[in-house]
Amino acid sequence: MNRSALFFSCCVLLAGTLAAQSASNCRVGDDAEYTKQIREYTTEPFFSTELVDHLPSSSCVPSPEKFLQHIIGAPNVLDHVEQINAYMRLLEKSTPRVKVFSIGKSEEGREMLAVMVSDEENIRDLERFKQITGRLADPRGLSDTEAQKLIADGKPIYWADGSIHSPETGAPEMLMELAYRIAVEDTPFIQKIRKDSIVMITPVVETDGRDREVDIYMHHVKHPQDPRYPLIWWGHYVAHDNNRDDLGLTLALSRNMLKNFLEWHPTVMHDLHESVPYLYIMTGTGPYNAWLDPIVISEWQRMAYYEIEEMTKRGVIGVWTHGFYDGWAPNYLLSIANGHNAIGRFYETFGNGGADTQVRKLNPPDTNREWFRPNPPLPEVKWSARDNINMQESAILFGMNNVASNKNEFLNNFYLKSKRAVAKAQTEGPAAWVFPADDPRPAEQARLLNLLAQQGIEISRLENDAQIPSAAQKESADSRPRSNENSSKTGTDKDRDKDRDKDKDTNKPVTLPKGSYVIRMDQPYSRLADMVLDTQYYSPRDPRSYDDTGWTLGALRNVKTIRVVDTALLSKPMQKIATIQVAGTITGSGGTYLVNHNADNTLATFRYKLADVAMEAAEAPFEADGVRFNAGTFVIRNADRGKVEAAAKELGIPVHAVASAPKVATHPLQAPRVAMVHNWTNTQNDGWYRVAFDELKIPYTYIADTKLRQTDHLRDKFDVIILPPGGGFGGASLSSTVQGIPMRGAALPWKNTNEMPNLVAPGLDETDDIRGGLGYTGLANLEQFVRDGGLLIAAQSSSSLPVAAGMTQMVSANNPPGLNAPGSVLLSIVDDSKSPIAYGYTDKLYVYFHDGPVLNVGMNQPNPEANARSSGRGSPSDPDVIQARTYHEPEKAPKRSPREQELYIPEEVRQFGSLLLPPPAEMPRVVLRFAPEKDLVLSGMLVGAKDVAERPVVVDVPHGKGHVVLFSNNPFWRDETQGSFFLVFNSMFNYDHLDAGRSNANPSDQPRQATAAE
Ligand SMILES: [Zn+2]
């Protein structure tokens, strides 16, 4: 590091004297030493091309080696963000062909860049080219003739970005050499790229993770005998999922990249990844995202095949397309481009997780020849960092040259896609999406609308009430969902026909109230809005999905959206608006303040903002001053009005002051001390919890499983402990949680040192030893914590931990073998509206469900197969008549609701098993339950729906003086599931009164008899 820093100052001085020179005055030759090393580090000729097997020298511009003191792709070395950015700035100083822009900072303050490389005249004219792409991006009012003139004058911008995934280390290095090569080299091939396009480079997307990864890798190089550190945090919040954030825009990198895209409108955005051998060029297997213009699908294919052909012609092995991913979900970083009418694509090259040269062995199917991989990778090769650089750099240069050579066609396609997006309202519809002004959750509504605005989507507001025919709309979050399975058993098609008939019956016009928000589909980014607000059907016949299959944002955020197909709406008076601010204030007078619980997440911020103010929760709905308040309403007695009002105003919360406290049972509403648990193997899922808590300013202690092991009397320190889903690379089973990283060898501290100064940042965790996991002691400490009156919240895969550890009587968790739920939006029903966990919710909620586990409560799950008749005479519905005895009709089994069935304990069991049975007050309480099978799926795919239908989603289980609350869904998923957040917040705020509203009646006393009608 010091070496390079020294060299940096020397080069800056050098560059300062050269900056004024025109690029054409520079002498370009061959950098023989650099070229020699390229050839030395390339392990096979079939991992290189003539584009990258050498490096030109320049009398003006320092090569990467001059600055870094190693060539790009040299073994055993990687560079930190500071060096990479400094080199890019050095290029800017050394040649008029490079200009560097800062595009923002990461969570930990590291800078992200956009490095523009092109001909000197193009760089001088960047503003004009930016205006041209901007005009083509919004072609409203532009004639085709004017458009063609702009296209002829314009330059496509090709944006290459590196290392969003921190262990994929090659691209940031490669992009330094690429910037240099394009700026310096004088072959006609490179000149074409410079003349007829603008290359834009973001060398490191995940800057925080890059520095941690380089620390760990360079530590490994210095201490090859030591066990290698895992990369515990990549970015500040999430790991690999940082390129699944385009729907939530929660991470700084997503926001910075999007903002930069909207500033320049690059024609192509190209993410550089490393995983599969040797070079996979994205086209995907399909099903492709159904809201994209088909033009872009062709562009993916055409670009991929061009690059494959050029590489293959040169004898390069293992370049292929198709396979690997699907092209369905719009959550990837490259969706920034595809969602805004440009081209988003990516490569996967064969990374090494560093710069080691290694023998890499492959097995089928990686080595299989397939129709999409006629020239497959080899079973064994020596693979180097330079090989990786050669593959990435050669292929992307072909891509860039292709775009420059066909610049008008690419720009014209961009124009066409933009124009066709504006025509969407009239062509394929719908006309608009409406967010009605009377949504009970104005804060979440505003948050979703502001997110769309951040994506560049225009929002208008109705100036008057507007009527639309009911047949022309469908309220998405309230629409009847459908089953996903192509099974004749479900009668899906019939149900759907019935639904359609019902829609016809109720042909009353619908009034959209004045002030409703309208997302018009006659705007450039109509497709993106439609894509995120619509429902998704993913056929089980399609190839296995690569990521989420459903993502309907209105439903996941518990915000009402209406799909309007009648274009008459577009001519109603409406005003375009920018961002939406919800007004908060106090109305009425008196010393008691009421805050209606509507499950808007700002209420959680409010509770903590006034943490020292005593609040209570109303245990039932009530009326005061003629206003109806929901169960869970915050009741604040005798507080300082100014203080309450300031918080209400800041957070946009309406508060009602009343003279006397309402006559309703209440209990204290706590602002509890929360611990958020992580382990030392995978921090990804807890990252989405942390980012949501941080955004809402909800305080918590970030605590390692190893620390739980070392801390007894947890109850003295915390009221609530949250176990976000484990899994990923970590595993969530009892076994893996107890073991953690095995206690072998020496202690492994995770702390900043001189050698690794970037491991820990404020908000992250450190320790003297990452080994040992939760351990048996940690498990016992957790159990003791609950028995002492604490609340343990365990979500999704982590819910199996308290279940397996014996903290939840009468609950089991399983993963049904036939279940395939790759990330879908499912309907759930509030089963116990009196539970504090359900405060603020209405009767139903859409939740995100991914693979389970499926929770079961009680001892007697009905087995539908059990009632099937034996083989014998007659038809399946005929009685089984046993020969030589009088026929007695069997007694009909009593019909029980899912809840009754769960709590039902047969008389014999009560007699003989009473020792093992919990008393009614300790029975699990199902708060939220999945809808029946026919109503279950709103968006995405669910195979095995019968294993999920009517099963518990949220279960509250008393244990000792405390509670365990289990979630089968993931309430904090990629900052998309704002609608589910308050299930967790309610659990927290009411942690010491979760038994409020509990009914301890035992339904087994009076089983409901089946009637003829059933
Ligand atoms: Zn990747």
Ligand 1 midpoint to CA 213 (Å): 14
pLDDT of the residue at 895: 84
Which residue, 292, 291, 270, is CA-closest to 281?
A: 270
What is the spatial distance between Cα 865 and Cα 842, in angstroms, rounded to a whole number?
Answer: 34
Ligand 1 midpoint to CA 272 (Å): 7
Which residue, 195, 161, 157, 166, is CA-closest to 178?
A: 161
If you ran DSSP here, which 8-state letter would residue 916 be given?
Answer: G
Ligand 1 midpoint to CA 274 (Å): 6
pLDDT surpassing 60 at residue 493: no
pLDDT of the residue at 889: 85
Ligand 1 midpoint to CA 644 (Å): 47
Which residue, 642, 630, 515, is CA-closest to 586?
A: 642
Ligand 1 midpoint to CA 349 (Å): 9
Confidence of residue 476 (pLDDT cuts 50, 70, 90): low
Ligand 1 midpoint to CA 169 (Å): 10
**Which residues place a Cβ less than 5 A from the ion ligand 1?**
165, 168, 273
Confidence of residue 489 (pLDDT cuts 50, 70, 90): very low
| Main-chain phi, psi angles of 93, to 5 degrees | -70, -25
Ligand 1 midpoint to CA 382 (Å): 22
pLDDT of the residue at 865: 66
The pLDDT tens digits of the residues spanning 920-952 come to: 889 999 999 999 999 999 999 999 999 999 999
Q: Is 131 helix (H, G, I), strand (E, B) or coil?
A: helix
Confidence of residue 1007 (pLDDT cuts 50, 70, 90): very low
Ligand 1 midpoint to CA 337 (Å): 17
Q: What is the mean pLDDT of residues 389-417?
A: 98
pLDDT of the residue at 133: 98
Instruction: Count CB neighbours of 34 within 10 A.
Output: 19
Poorest-pLDDT segment among 160-169, 343-352, 619-628, 908-917:
908-917
pLDDT of the residue at 864: 61
Ligand 1 midpoint to CA 729 (Å): 15
Ligand 1 midpoint to CA 165 (Å): 5
pLDDT surpassing 70 at residue 1001: no
Ligand 1 midpoint to CA 168 (Å): 6
What is the spatial distance between Cα 92 and Cα 98, in angstroms, rounded to a whole number?
Answer: 5
Tokens representing 762?
């404020």
Side-chain half-sphere CA neighbours of 710 within 13 A: 12
Q: What is the mean pLDDT of residues 509-536?
A: 97
The pLDDT tens digits of the residues spanning 253-302 come to: 999 999 999 999 999 999 999 999 999 999 999 999 999 999 999 999 99
Ligand 1 midpoint to CA 164 (Å): 7
Ligand 1 midpoint to CA 424 (Å): 33
Q: What is the mean pLDDT of residues 959-963?
A: 97
What is the spatial distance between Cα 1011 and Cα 207, in angstroms, rounded to a whole number?
Answer: 66
Q: Is 349 helix (H, G, I), strand (E, B) or coil?
A: strand
Ligand 1 midpoint to CA 277 (Å): 13
Q: What is the mean pLDDT of residues 222-235?
A: 95
Ligand 1 midpoint to CA 436 (Å): 39
The pLDDT tens digits of the residues spanning 824-858 come to: 999 999 999 999 999 999 999 999 999 889 999 99
Ligand 1 midpoint to CA 372 (Å): 21
Ligand 1 midpoint to CA 499 (Å): 43
Ligand 1 midpoint to CA 313 (Å): 27
Residue with tokens 């039902």: 904
Confidence of residue 17 (pLDDT cuts 50, 70, 90): very low
Which residue did the predictor score with more confidence, 726 or 396?
396
Tell me the β-bridge partners of 592: 637, 658
Ligand 1 midpoint to CA 306 (Å): 23
Q: What is the mean pLDDT of residues 451-468?
A: 97
Confidence of residue 575 (pLDDT cuts 50, 70, 90): very high
Ligand 1 midpoint to CA 323 (Å): 15
Ligand 1 midpoint to CA 548 (Å): 17
Ligand 1 midpoint to CA 280 (Å): 12
The pLDDT tens digits of the residues spanning 82-110 come to: 999 999 999 999 999 999 999 999 999 99
The whole-chain average pLDDT of the chain stands at 92
pLDDT surpassing 90 at residue 1010: no
Poorest-pLDDT segment among 25-29, 593-597, 715-719, 724-728:
724-728
Confidence of residue 732 (pLDDT cuts 50, 70, 90): low
Confidence of residue 915 (pLDDT cuts 50, 70, 90): confident
pLDDT surpassing 70 at residue 474: no
Ligand 1 midpoint to CA 271 (Å): 9
Terminal CA-CA length for the chain: 77
Tell me the β-bridge partners of 636: 593
- Please enumerate in sequence order all residues whose Cβ is within 8 A of that of 37, keeping only pairs 6 or more positions apart, or say none: 65, 71, 74
Which residue, 182, 177, 185, is CA-closest to 28?
A: 185
pLDDT surpassing 90 at residue 562: yes
Tokens representing 180?
């240099």
pLDDT of the residue at 453: 98
Poorest-pLDDT segment among 77-91, 566-580, 725-739:
725-739
pTM: 0.93
Ligand 1 midpoint to CA 173 (Å): 16
pLDDT surpassing 80 at residue 752: yes
pLDDT of the residue at 490: 34
